């Protein structure tokens, strides 16, 4: 038992002991290295070209500032500051002066970079430098840095392992397509989709803006298109459309993330929504009924009528005027209701209109049946014969083989959403194939890149989108960006497990693949 007088003696001693303990603990804290993942063990998707591990780590703390070499990097600098803030609560200052504890963003016109989107990240205990010949490359480097930061092991201190990453994309075009026609998705839903593409270095978003079930973009010179043709969707819901202002908002949001929007008006088939909106587009001058089913191949523009080409000219002109990217997608698939000779004539005429508005045409692989210009891109989705036909003419291909890349295909026989006409696509099916040996004699230099389409006959909500897209989208990210020799299914699976935890935190739904 301690009596009162003993207690009074012990009190100051206890205070001294506690203050020592405090000093010891707080000194210890600043000296203890924060938990971090070594650079060579980071779970990056898509896998970079080269990772050289260094010694130590860079700690992201309240002293860190972001420095950029060029005013044009102000937006990406802000983007990084916000990304750090949302993860750590820190508010890095942005300045133009080099010092210690900086993350420095540098535009460098260095011949050592193999492509415009290539970038390097150098991480030491004092600084991080991200450099690239282009803003886009710096942005992709930032995406890598954010993935590294997400690898910090606790929520108190933030650090990334030291070393160097040298990286560049395998293909220039890395895209995904969203079908906003079969079911309409709002501007905010499309922005969310863009947010899902951004971390994985995708740089194109193809919007399928018209089909039998819905016309989704305002054309001022043909207002009935959206009034009538935009008024419904698969299943008979109320549909919707983007005003040109809405579309510009999507384009700008994507551009801030170095993603180029590719608009598609599908024709001459897949045109019932337009045919229901204007009598004169029909050969018999009678408007069709609106369509809310999921059949394909029954509609066609009237290819012999001059008004058809006046209409297409107006549509391509208005959309091109608000599309900064170089591509215009003119569809051309499944035109079973158009005779082949008419189809060929039609595609040739449309191509002239597209080039009149200074756009490069992309068409589904059937367009190679026409005498297409050498810069027209054929999107290979179904026919190897068409793919070979296009390359024989010297045209480039965009790879979207349905049995590997259609994200509307079910994962397996019990997947509730989706279709199965091209087969089930499990995660390993999505990953374990390569564009350069998929069709005999077609090689990388004939391929501009890859695009993963999401058709939406059965997809109605944001959660539906997420479930069908993840985790397959990460397989496509790696096929599009990473060098072929870096592909490695076992490694991908372990990196993917890490990325899925991140999707959990973001509340993004995904399919739990038994292959993982
Ligand atoms: C084929 S792919 C289509 C689309 C459908 C899709 C469903 C292509 C060029 N045409 O019209 O939505 O299958 O998977």
The per-residue pLDDT for range 471-506, each reduced to its tens digit, is 999 999 999 999 999 999 999 999 999 999 999 999
Nearest to 406 by CA among 335, 352, 469: 469
Return the residue whose CA atom lies nearest to atom 13 of ligand 1: 455
CA of 94 to the centre of ligand 1 (A): 47
So what's the pLDDT on residue 92? 94
Contacts of 413 (CB under 8 A, 6+ apart): 424
CA of 343 to the centre of ligand 1 (A): 18
Nearest to 211 by CA among 225, 192, 201, 191: 225
So what's the pLDDT on residue 35? 86
Low-confidence spans in the chain with pLDDT less than 70: 1-31, 153-155
Contacts of 90 (CB under 8 A, 6+ apart): 60, 61, 62, 64, 84, 158
CA of 123 to the centre of ligand 1 (A): 45
Return the residue whose CA atom lies nearest to atom 11 of ligand 1: 296
So what's the pLDDT on residue 26? 42
Tokens 């014969």 found at: 385
CA of 425 to the centre of ligand 1 (A): 15
CA of 455 to the centre of ligand 1 (A): 7
**Active-site residue flag, 478:** no
CA 252, 257, 259 angle in degrees (round to 5)? Answer: 75
Q: Are 181 and 230 in contact (CB under 8 A)?
A: no
How far is 435 from 314, CA to CA, in rounded Å? 36
Return the residue whose CA atom lies nearest to atom 10 of ligand 1: 333
So what's the pLDDT on residue 34? 87
Around ligand 1, the residues with Cβ closer than 6 Å are 296, 333-334, 364, 381, 406, 408, 419, 455, 457
Peptide bond into 165 cis (omega under 30): no
Q: Are 323 and 354 in contact (CB under 8 A)?
A: no
Tokens 């008006």 found at: 265
Q: Are 345 and 395 in contact (CB under 8 A)?
A: no
So what's the pLDDT on residue 148? 95
So what's the pLDDT on residue 31? 63
Contacts of 238 (CB under 8 A, 6+ apart): 231, 232
pTM: 0.93
Which ligand 1 atom lies nearest to the CA of residue 294?
12
The sign of the CA dihedral 13, 16, 22, 24 is: negative
So what's the pLDDT on residue 113? 86
Return the residue whose CA atom lies nearest to atom 8 of ligand 1: 333
Tokens 């990196």 found at: 495
- If residue 433 lies in a helix (H) or strand (E), which one and from where to where? none
Among 218, 233, 334, 457, the one annotated catalytic: 334
**Token pair of 355 as six digits:** 């080039």
So what's the pLDDT on residue 11? 52
């Amino acid at each position: 038992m301690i009596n009162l007088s003993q207690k009074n003696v012990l009190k100051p001693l206890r205070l001294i002991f506690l203050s020592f303990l405090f000093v010891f603990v707080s000194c210890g804290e600043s000296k203890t290295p924060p938990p971090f993942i070594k650079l060579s063990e980071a779970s990056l998707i898509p896998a970079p070209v080269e990772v050289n591990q260094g010694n130590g780590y860079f700690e992201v703390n309240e002293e860190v500032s972001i420095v950029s070499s060029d005013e044009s990097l102000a937006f990406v600098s802000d983007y990084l500051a916000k990304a750090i803030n949302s993860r750590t609560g820190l508010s890095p200052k942005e300045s133009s002066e080099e010092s210690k504890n900086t993350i420095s963003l540098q535009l460098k016109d260095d011949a050592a970079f193999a492509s415009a989107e290539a970038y390097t990240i150098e991480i030491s205990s004092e600084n991080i430098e991200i450099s690239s010949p282009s803003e886009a490359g710096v942005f992709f480097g930032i995406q890598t840095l954010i993935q590294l930061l997400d690898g910090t092991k606790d929520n108190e201190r933030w650090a990334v392992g030291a070393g160097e990453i040298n990286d560049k994309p395998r293909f220039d075009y890395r895209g995904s397509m969203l079908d906003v026609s079969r079911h309409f998705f709002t501007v905010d839903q499309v922005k969310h989709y863009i947010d899902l593409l951004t971390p994985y270095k995708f740089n194109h978003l193809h919007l399928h803006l018209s089909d039998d079930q819905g016309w989704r973009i305002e054309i001022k010179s043909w207002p009935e298109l959206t009034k009538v043709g935009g008024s419904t969707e698969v299943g008979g819901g109320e549909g919707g459309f983007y005003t040109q202002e809405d579309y510009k908002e999507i384009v700008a949001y994507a551009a801030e993330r170095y993603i180029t929007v590719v608009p598609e008006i599908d024709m001459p088939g897949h045109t019932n929504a337009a045919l229901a909106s204007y009598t004169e587009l029909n050969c018999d001058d009678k408007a069709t009924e609106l369509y809310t089913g999921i059949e394909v191949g029954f509609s066609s523009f009237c290819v012999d009528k001059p008004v058809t080409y006046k209409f297409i000219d107006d549509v391509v002109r208005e959309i091109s005027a608000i599309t900064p990217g170089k591509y215009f997608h003119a569809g051309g698939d499944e035109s079973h209701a158009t005779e082949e000779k008419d189809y060929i004539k039609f595609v040739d005429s449309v191509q002239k209109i597209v080039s009149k508005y200074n756009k490069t045409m992309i068409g589904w692989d059937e367009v190679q049946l026409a005498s297409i210009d050498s810069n027209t891109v054929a999107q290979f989705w179904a026919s190897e014969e068409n793919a070979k036909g296009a390359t024989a003419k010297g045209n480039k291909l965009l790879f979207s083989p349905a049995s590997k890349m259609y994200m509307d295909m079910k994962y397996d026989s019990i997947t509730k959403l989706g279709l199965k006409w091209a087969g089930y696509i499990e995660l390993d099916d999505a990953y374990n194939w390569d564009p350069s040996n998929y069709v005999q004699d077609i090689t990388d230099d004939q391929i501009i890149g890859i695009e993963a389409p999401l058709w939406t006959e059965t997809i109605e909500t944001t959660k539906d989108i997420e479930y069908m897209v993840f985790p397959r989208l990460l397989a496509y990210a790696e096929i599009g960006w990473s060098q072929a020799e870096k592909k490695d299914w076992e490694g991908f699976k372990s990196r993917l497990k890490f990325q899925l935890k991140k999707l959990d935190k973001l509340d993004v739904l995904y399919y739990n693949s038994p292959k993982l």
